[in-house]
Structure 1
Amino acid sequence: MATLVNSGGGTTSNDAATKEEFVSLFDRLKSDLLSDLSCLPIAQDVKQELEKYYERALTYNVLGGKMTRGLTVIKSAECSLSRLLTASERHDAMVLGWGIEIMQAFFLTADDVMDQSHTRRGAPCWFRVPDVTAANAINDSLAMEAFIYRLLRKYFSSSPKYVKYVDLFLSMTYKTIVGQHLDTNAQQRREGELCLDQSRFTMDRYVAIVRHKTAYYSFYMPCALGMIVGGIEDDAAFQKTEDICMELGQYFQIQDDFLDCYGDPEVIGKVGTDIQENKCSWLVCQALQRADESQRQILIENYGRDDLSAVAKIKTLYKTLKLEDVYAAYEEEAKVKIDNLIASVESASLQSLFKFLLSKIYKRNK
């Protein structure tokens, strides 16, 4: 397999070849999960119905994303070992990577029902597929969570690292659920309509939401899994990784919030709706910190309303408060802070991992 020298001086596998190999493993893992169903004490025709349904559910919900989380497990393992992986190590990293991808599908399937979303990755949300329904989608999200542990048991139950893998998946699921609760319950209703709650739209709550709902499972988890594959056991190394990944995840979500308002829909692939959906976003938290009483009234009267004129008033207020400039300053401060944290990491190979992750998101426009 072709190799590349990365910015940190380590050697990693060719990204395109790695992604192709990663994708090719999915059908094998899917077959493993479906074969588990055949062991259930159920009549053959009912088993076939189950297998057909879950084959479709897995394909529809797990595939279609960028697979960044899963691929990062492989890169993290390589950086942890400062070499290319053996065939066995590579397989382990890919199985764990697909575990995160299934975890992502589990979260998103449930999240779409909660938010009553319409599309996901350019297709109807799973619960909106005509013969699925919300009731099935909720159960399917639980099934996908269970599938993760079926894979871990099949491939790692005899490994001394098994408990660490299971514990990490359980811990990250718990933290993400907490983040989802904080996000959902930041939104209040007045007379049945969504409304801005100034006591809840704070930066303290915002940071808690983004770190628990995004940073842990999207950044820390794939790095930590790769480090376990690579044999790293030093608690200080995991703590340093967590510190860096919390900053990376927070920066990533703040970018998302900014692009939701200011990004080009042709580039980001969607029209932003955070204002209409009353999201506890970075922009509205910053606005509340800077607004005078009359400007706060504009926010209270218009934020969370699915009305184009109300959205326009909020965007005009953001412009008045110069939030684009505030974001530009934040972005540079975040970059410096993350760079300094990376520089404090002793391992040059792990430094290269974090530099790679930062390079993927710094000044992104989609």
Structure 2
Amino acid sequence: MKQKLALDYLETYNIKVAPLWENYFRVKIKESKKIGVYASDLLTRFTKMAVLGKKVRGALMVLGYQIAEGRNMTSIYEASLFIELMHTGLLIHDDIMDNSDFRRGLPSLHKQYYPSHLGKSMAINAGDIAFYLSWEKLMTSDFPKDKLTLAGKIYSEYLLKVIYGQILDISKINVEHESEKVILNMLRYKTAEYTGVFPLLIGAILGGMKDLEKIDKLKKYGVSLGWAFQIQDDILGLYGNEEKTGKPVGSDLKEGKRTLFTYYVLKHGNAKQKEYILSILGNKKISKDDITKAQELLKEVGAYEYVVNLGRSYVKEGKEAIRAITSDKKLQNILRSLIKYIMERTR
């Protein structure tokens, strides 16, 4: 029942924006056809990927707007497309850097072309197009210029944070000597703030929120939600259902991703456990049996329990900030339900 509020809110958001997406991409694909067949082909592939997302960030942007008591719902739904355009662009670039094979149940965009150099080149361009379209969508939305100017500054600030987080993620640091602080710092910049704080803050600014204490509490809730989101992503990456997540289980291990799971094993595991994790980390050829063994090992050493408990602690922190964000009981309940759902979702 507690999750139902979150699921209903997300479903309502997706129903509201579905025709907006259809109309938006119909116009953009038509424009791209004037350039040439490759341009329209790329944008068509991008469209298929963009519309398959969970759209949690867009929904959070609308929620931030409602918390700020914004009234122009037609415009905020339309404007919220910007963050999903931006997000899809970031995912496309992330897949290139991680050399990921799948995204949202489809081959990653750079894997959809041959030869590989063409695929990577096309995907880089797709990401660049996404950032332009995202900026255009936000800055031409139907809100006062002063609010859009501030929203534009926040856009630039958080996009830069994500890029810095990505740099931290791909930098070749010796994984055996990483600390929890280093991992969390990377995840904060790459995912947590951008997933939770950014959409809520943009929505609140466009809605006219000026109370600095409320903004501070909104940020605290947002970053807690963002942490929970990333932690659950890591859990699903190792223990999720492939049909629901759209990515093969164990792909994080194959790609050599630095996660809280690997940190914990290398910090607290015995020599044999550490050796095994290091032997499969970044190995594209590991088998399903290897992944099953890794799953069992992570539970045996306590990594699974550690990660789940950390996620729950962020859910608790987020809930503690809610009363100071809004006095609206309905919105309070939605905020509680959303952060709980984020940590318990299966996709």
Report whether the alignment pairs 1:281 with 2:270: no
Encode CA deviations 1:133-152: one digit per residue, 9 max, x unaligned: 22122122112111222223
Structure-2 residue corresponding to 1:111: 94
Measure, in 1, the Cα distance between the counterparts of 2:279 and 2:11: 49
Contact 1:263-1:365 within 8 A present in 2 as well: yes
- Point out where structure 2 has 5 or more consecutive residues left out of the alignment: none
Report whether the alignment pairs 1:246 with 2:229: no
When normalised by structure 1's length, the TM-score is 0.79
Which segment is superposed worse, 172-181 or 355-364? 355-364
Structure-1 residue corresponding to 2:129: 143
Amino acid at match of 1:179: G
Displacement of 1:352 in angstroms is: 3.9
Structure-1 residue corresponding to 2:169: 183
Measure, in 1, the Cα distance between the counterparts of 2:264 and 2:83: 32
Which segment is superposed worse, 331-340 or 61-70? 331-340
Structure-2 residue corresponding to 1:62: 50
Structure-2 residue corresponding to 1:355: 336
Contact 2:68-2:209 within 8 A present in 1 as well: yes
The structure with more helix, counted as a fraction of residues:
2
Structure-1 residue corresponding to 2:198: 221
> Quick one: which of 304, 329, 333 aligns to 2:282?
304
> Quick one: which of 14, 24, 27 aligns to 1:19?
14
> Quick one: which of 278, 291, 299 aligns to 1:319?
299
Cα distance change of structure 1 residues 295 and 7 upon mapping to structure 2, 3 Å threshold: closer
Contact 2:46-2:126 within 8 A present in 1 as well: no
Structure-1 residue corresponding to 2:103: 120
Cα distance change of structure 1 residues 117 and 348 upon mapping to structure 2, 3 Å threshold: same
Which segment is superposed worse, 227-236 or 261-270? 261-270
Structure-2 residue corresponding to 1:101: 84
Structure-2 residue corresponding to 1:3: none
Identity across matched positions, percent: 22
Encode CA deviations 1:103-155: one digit per residue, 9 max, x unaligned: 01110111122222222222222222237622122122112111222223433
**Greater gyration radius:** 1
Contact 1:175-1:212 within 8 A present in 2 as well: yes
Aligned length: 336
Measure, in 1, the Cα distance between the counterparts of 2:206 and 2:333: 17
Amino acid at match of 2:250: G
- Point out where structure 1 has 5 or more consecutive residues left out of the alignment: 1-5, 39-44, 189-195
Displacement of 1:55 in angstroms is: 4.3
When normalised by structure 2's length, the TM-score is 0.83
Structure-1 residue corresponding to 2:113: 130
Encode CA deviations 1:167-196: one digit per residue, 9 max, x unaligned: 1211111111111111111x56xxxxxxx6
Measure, in 1, the Cα distance between the counterparts of 2:145 and 2:50: 26
Encode CA deviations 1:51-91: one digit per residue, 9 max, x unaligned: 6346425423322112221122223222321xxx64xx123
